[in-house]
Structure 1
Amino acid sequence: MTAAETATLAGTGIAAGSEVHANLTAPGLIAHALRRGEGRLSAEGAFIAVTGVHTGRSVQDKFVVDDPAARDAVWWGRINQPMAPAKFAGLSARIRRWLGGQPELFVQDLYAGADPAHRIRVRLVTTNAWHALFARNMFIRPRREELAGFAPDYVILHAPEFHADPATDGCRSETVIALSFAERVICIAGTSYAGEIKKSVFTVMNWLLPERGVLPMHCSANVGAAGDVALFFGLSGTGKTTLSSDPERRLIGDDEHGWSDAGVFNFEGGCYAKVIRLSREAEPQIWDATHRFGTVLENVVADEDGNLDLDDASLTENTRSCYPLEFIPNAVPGGMAGRPRNVVMLTADAFGVLPPIAKLSPAQAMYHFLSGYTARVAGTEKGLGREPQATFSACFGAPFLPRHPEVYGRMLAERIRRDGADCWLVNTGWTGGSYGTGHRMSIAHTRALLRAALDGSLARAEYARDPFFGLMIPRAVPGVPREVLNPREAWADRAAYDRTARELVARFEKNFEEFAGAVGEEVRAVAIRAAA
């Protein structure tokens, strides 16, 4: 191994006798991926990879090392399962030896965090060229002169073909994603799904930034011509990508951001868009990015000539397109902007009882941030029946929170108060009845409501208080019928609305039991609860 190859593995603990391909650009990585038979090109030149049995995150196989220094601050439970330090030491040593014995390794040195004051340096070591390309697309690429002295803060040992041993390694299966904050090492083994790389780094940022006074957020962000920044929180299916991709506003980023004293900054240098049934008319920028050289497609089906069929879900509903942020024409260069003026929390309420928009106080914002509510229906996720399923994910990103949700909730409320941001709850789900009876909220109405919120006019509107959820609903908004604004008036059967609303109130009340003892009286006072 040459001196240059030794330098690129510094800090990884890998003693390789193999060939090391370090910091190759997209053309070089694609050439190696094709040579190695890792996938094929689409007709337009995007690289298509198939990830096998794992087409999404392996939630049950995620572990956080029970390091003494981190133990008291970790949100232990179903999401952050503990792994003994000794088990991690053995697992990481075995993965290092395995990686060192491979004929080829691919290394990428990258940044997470557009703001130099709050970024971390990440070194990925993987066996596959396409995974290296995914990481290169997904994160921020250092300038060539910055690579010479690059020393990683965190190392990702990526071994998709390595099989863990539950008896030896203290894990659940042959797949394992294990993170040690003390060792600053992430081990990913037994899965080719590239999203594990992205979300492991997000988990690290969620761990580090609160101690620096920076709020990490699972949200998209854009900025208007006047420099007004808007954040969009929302779970899958709520329209976060669609609504934040506004041709009249510039995109800061589509998924992960920090909110510091200086403003908002993107964690990433790329996008990881879900593309099942992607429409060229509805999402032209994502469509164009998906059909070009340099993009990585996961589990997207193509014919023998490489023509994509984005409606084909035979491999998975979770088809993905990963591309650099500069593939989006109106992206903000540098991934940074000022402090948010508006915070939007999106929900797709399939019960049809939440209003299309409501103004939230800082305390209500913290409550709904901790709740992270949406409702899923058949067609948005496999295994769901006809009845809507209420889903709550703390901070709109519970699987990636290493700390207790209240930590992030308090930071959000404090920053909203400090920066004077207006906060909105926007329902992109159903109106006039539940799923199966009512109809989906008009995208034209939603866009009109958002325009009024973002331009400041809606904050000056007259409001009425909803009796079930305590939400402040505008009485009138230009371009939106009055009966649409108040969901009860949109139902033909008002008694059925009342019953359905009470049922959803009970779900909110049950979910909030986990947080009620950890929040202040101001938040408990605005919590949704059944009438006495």
Structure 2
Amino acid sequence: MNIQTIVSQLNQHKNNQDNLPIASLVERVLSREEGILTSTGAVRATTGKYTGRSPKDKFIVQDEETKDQVEWGEVNQPINEDKFLNLFNKVTDYLSEQDELFTFNGFAGGDEKYRLPIQVITQFAWHNLFANQLFIRPTEDELKNHKPEFTVVSAPHFKADPEVDGTNSETFIIVSFKHKIVLIGGTEYAGEIKKSIFSVMNYLLPTKQDILPMHCSANVGSEGDVALFFGLSGTGKTTLSADPNRRLIGDDEHAWSQNGIFNIEGGCYAKTVNLSEEKEPQIYNAIRFGAVLENVVVNEDSRLPDYDDTSLTENTRAAYAIDHIDNIIQPSIAGHPNTIVFLTADAFGVLPPISKLTKEQAMYHFLSGYTSKLAGTERGITEPEATFSACFGSPFLPLPAATYAKMLGEKIDEHDAQVFLVNTGWTGGPYGVGSRMKLGYTRSMVQAALEGELNNVDTVKDEFFGLSIPQQCPGVPSDVLNPKKTWEDPEAYDSKAKELASKFHNNFKKFNHITTDIQNAGPTFKA
């Protein structure tokens, strides 16, 4: 029996709840005791021991479709087709015995010319509600004619046997491009559903349609000027793109075609740790009926979410439809970007809070993708840890990083985009000594960059990284702009800067076939 026949049988399960409206899904979540209703109207669910992604449990099926395309390694681990098919059969047999299944049919990709019809079949009602919030919901007419080209099958309570199934643990996230299936089991963390489809798009868009997929948020100004914000989880993509003076295109995943930008998703998956209405009103007010709170502690009596309580995890999340935010552009499509911002949370505390990049520096820092992994975004990370993630999204890139970098460089050249590196991390010292950059300062710097106020200001070259640091910026004290001036001990700063510069150089050695001008655009200090 082929895979599509098995999927069809799941769709015909006697109690398959197909494309339930939000209110019905919420009722099912509550009646099945998968979550609770909070005072905001949002559902709160918890995910047990897996409160973040499981990168060591992610696989791509190695077959004639992928063997020469995918960059195999720690990120893209191969699994053979027989192992996949055997596990798929076991998972679908398990799901067929469940009392209920839940199916969502929708799309990935806001531009109708390039969108991917998808289906998400889940064991949990709240996972289906999550998919409903995060992906693009079809109209009634679109639903009638919907034919999924990729299917996610999620069975959180099914646990793999590593010795038999070829996995590394009980958990697995497996993508088969040949069979057009994502198979998820052994984890209740809903983010795996979202990120697996992003990985699929990161393979299909460049190879099939010559479109650049990007791990970034995006917004558009009143004059139609478009800005992109690249960065890993916790660096501020969602926060900084949710600007009351600009309309949001999307908060995490986009694609750049010959026509401009489009959002891959239909919702937002925002970190909620320390969330407040005062600092982030758009996100705070988007958490209402239909939204899903993940691993957020809730007061048992009042049902008020406590966003400051991280006793379950630092990686508390809210999933909500993009139309929960008033200031959006619909459909989620815009023109070519004028400004590109690379966000990094530098735990060393030595990178400037904002710097202007040449095209070559932009390519270097895009390939480097430096930041600090923040507590809770992955299992085992308990405090910030320096890391390099190519293209600010290495865990989700099936193809070699140079493929995406080459495409971005061509886009920057073609559309004369201005590129900035913004450090939302530490100032005045490294993590544990200094403090996190004030959000108000970061907002002022980003606003100045978007409005062109930094295009012609005087700059000074950073002595270790070769970055051009603006000497003034509206709303930001000049001493804050130069990181060395914020440290009490200049020698300690020099030592940390040299240490980080060396890490950049060592990381960049892994890239092949990179032009000399890009290689030389990194830190000027060399040990």
Report the TM range for the smaller structure's normalisation.
Answer: over 0.9
Q: Is the 8 A contact 2:227 2:338 kept in 1?
A: yes
Question: Residue by residue, what CA displacement relative to the aligned partner does 1:415-443 show, whole Å, maximum 9, x if unpaired?
Answer: 11111100000112233333344443333
What is the one-letter code of the residue matched to 1:62? K
Q: What SS does the corresponding residue of 1:76 show, helix, strand or coil?
A: coil
Q: How far has the Cα of 1:480 moved from its partner? A: 3.1
Q: What SS does the corresponding residue of 1:114 show, helix, strand or coil?
A: coil
- Looking at structure 1, the residues matched to 235 and 317 of structure 2 have their Cα atoms a distance apart, in angstroms, of 17
Q: Is the 8 A contact 2:501 2:526 kept in 1?
A: no
What is the one-letter code of the residue matched to 1:71? K
| 2:104 maps to 1:102 | no
Partner of 2:262: 265
Partner of 2:283: 286
Q: What SS does the corresponding residue of 1:218 show, helix, strand or coil?
A: strand
Partner of 2:520: 525
Q: How far has the Cα of 1:376 moved from its partner? A: 5.5
| 2:356 maps to 1:359 | yes
Q: Is the 8 A contact 1:508 1:528 kept in 2?
A: yes
Q: How far has the Cα of 1:169 moved from its partner? A: 1.7
Q: How does 1:202-241 map to 2 (within 5 A)?
A: 202-211=198-207, 212-241=209-238
Q: 1:11 to 1:262 in 2, by over 3 A?
A: farther
| 2:389 maps to 1:393 | yes
Q: How far has the Cα of 1:255 moved from its partner? A: 0.6
Q: How far has the Cα of 1:101 moved from its partner? A: 2.3
Question: Residue by residue, what CA displacement relative to the aligned partner does 1:51-74 show, whole Å, maximum 9, x if unpaired?
Answer: 122111121111100012211111
Q: Is the 8 A contact 2:315 2:376 kept in 1?
A: no
Task: Name the count of aligned residue pairs.
Answer: 521
What is the one-letter code of the residue matched to 2:137? R
Partner of 1:135: 131
What is the one-letter code of the residue matched to 1:12? V
Partner of 1:494: 490
Q: What SS does the corresponding residue of 1:12 show, helix, strand or coil?
A: helix
Q: What SS does the corresponding residue of 2:118 show, helix, strand or coil?
A: strand
Question: Residue by residue, what CA displacement relative to the aligned partner does 1:470-510 show, whole Å, maximum 9, x if unpaired?
Answer: 11122333343333322233334333322221111111111
Q: How far has the Cα of 1:13 moved from its partner? A: 4.5
State the TM-score, normalized to the length of structure 1.
0.93
Partner of 2:47: 51
Q: Is the 8 A contact 1:357 1:485 kept in 2?
A: yes
Q: Is the 8 A contact 1:266 1:336 kept in 2?
A: yes
Partner of 1:350: 347
Selected match of 1:485 from 477, 481, 487: 481
Q: Is the 8 A contact 1:350 1:377 kept in 2?
A: no
Partner of 1:87: 83
Partner of 2:324: 327
- Looking at structure 2, the residues matched to 201 and 267 of structure 1 have their Cα atoms a distance apart, in angstroms, of 9
Q: How does 1:110-509 map to 2 (within 5 A)?
A: 110-211=106-207, 212-290=209-287, 292-305=288-301, 306-375=303-372, 389-509=385-505
What is the one-letter code of the residue matched to 1:43? S
Q: Is the 8 A contact 1:220 1:244 kept in 2?
A: yes
Partner of 1:18: 14
Q: 1:285 to 1:192 in 2, by over 3 A?
A: same
Q: What SS does the corresponding residue of 2:406 show, helix, strand or coil?
A: helix
The more displaced of 483-492 and 451-460 is 483-492
What is the one-letter code of the residue matched to 1:24? L
- Looking at structure 2, the residues matched to 467 and 125 of structure 1 have their Cα atoms a distance apart, in angstroms, of 54
Q: Is the 8 A contact 1:18 1:102 kept in 2?
A: no
The more displaced of 100-109 and 79-88 is 100-109
Q: Is the 8 A contact 1:14 1:97 kept in 2?
A: no
- Looking at structure 2, the residues matched to 222 and 521 of structure 1 have their Cα atoms a distance apart, in angstroms, of 33
What is the one-letter code of the residue matched to 1:391? T
Q: How far has the Cα of 1:137 moved from its partner? A: 0.6
Q: What SS does the corresponding residue of 1:70 show, helix, strand or coil?
A: coil
Q: 1:433 to 1:103 in 2, by over 3 A?
A: closer
Q: Is the 8 A contact 1:50 1:298 kept in 2?
A: yes
Q: How far has the Cα of 1:326 moved from its partner? A: 0.5
- Looking at structure 1, the residues matched to 376 and 141 of structure 2 have their Cα atoms a distance apart, in angstroms, of 48
| 2:61 maps to 1:68 | no
Q: 1:38 to 1:379 in 2, by over 3 A?
A: closer
| Structure 1 unaligned spans of 5+ | 1-8
The more displaced of 459-468 and 329-338 is 459-468
What is the one-letter code of the residue matched to 2:262? F
Q: 1:495 to 1:379 in 2, by over 3 A?
A: farther
Q: What SS does the corresponding residue of 2:480 show, helix, strand or coil?
A: helix
Q: How far has the Cα of 1:364 moved from its partner? A: 1.0
- Looking at structure 2, the residues matched to 58 and 208 of structure 1 have their Cα atoms a distance apart, in angstroms, of 23
Q: How far has the Cα of 1:409 moved from its partner? A: 1.1
Q: What SS does the corresponding residue of 1:111 show, helix, strand or coil?
A: strand
What is the one-letter code of the residue matched to 1:28? S
Partner of 1:4: none
Q: Is the 8 A contact 2:59 2:173 kept in 1?
A: yes
Question: Residue by residue, what CA displacement relative to the aligned partner does 1:445-469 show, whole Å, maximum 9, x if unpaired?
Answer: 3222222211112112232322211
Q: Is the 8 A contact 1:465 1:473 kept in 2?
A: yes
- Looking at structure 2, the residues matched to 523 and 474 of structure 1 have their Cα atoms a distance apart, in angstroms, of 22
Q: How far has the Cα of 1:166 moved from its partner? A: 1.8
Q: 1:11 to 1:343 in 2, by over 3 A?
A: farther
- Looking at structure 1, the residues matched to 34 and 327 of structure 2 have their Cα atoms a distance apart, in angstroms, of 32
Q: What SS does the corresponding residue of 1:526 show, helix, strand or coil?
A: coil
- Looking at structure 2, the residues matched to 366 and 95 of structure 1 have their Cα atoms a distance apart, in angstroms, of 42
Q: What SS does the corresponding residue of 2:68 show, helix, strand or coil?
A: helix
What is the one-letter code of the residue matched to 1:161? H
- Looking at structure 1, the residues matched to 378 and 196 of structure 2 have their Cα atoms a distance apart, in angstroms, of 23
Q: How far has the Cα of 1:11 moved from its partner? A: 7.5
- Looking at structure 2, the residues matched to 45 and 80 of structure 1 have their Cα atoms a distance apart, in angstroms, of 39
Q: Is the 8 A contact 1:223 1:229 kept in 2?
A: yes
Q: 1:303 to 1:432 in 2, by over 3 A?
A: closer
Question: Residue by residue, what CA displacement relative to the aligned partner does 1:174-193 show, whole Å, maximum 9, x if unpaired?
Answer: 21111001111110111111
Q: How far has the Cα of 1:113 moved from its partner? A: 0.4
What is the one-letter code of the residue matched to 1:484? V
Question: Residue by residue, what CA displacement relative to the aligned partner does 1:145-188 show, whole Å, maximum 9, x if unpaired?
Answer: 11112111101111112222223221122211110011111101
- Looking at structure 2, the residues matched to 46 and 481 of structure 1 have their Cα atoms a distance apart, in angstroms, of 40
| Structure 2 unaligned spans of 5+ | none
Find runs of 4+ consecutive structure 1 residues off by over 6 angstroms: 377-386
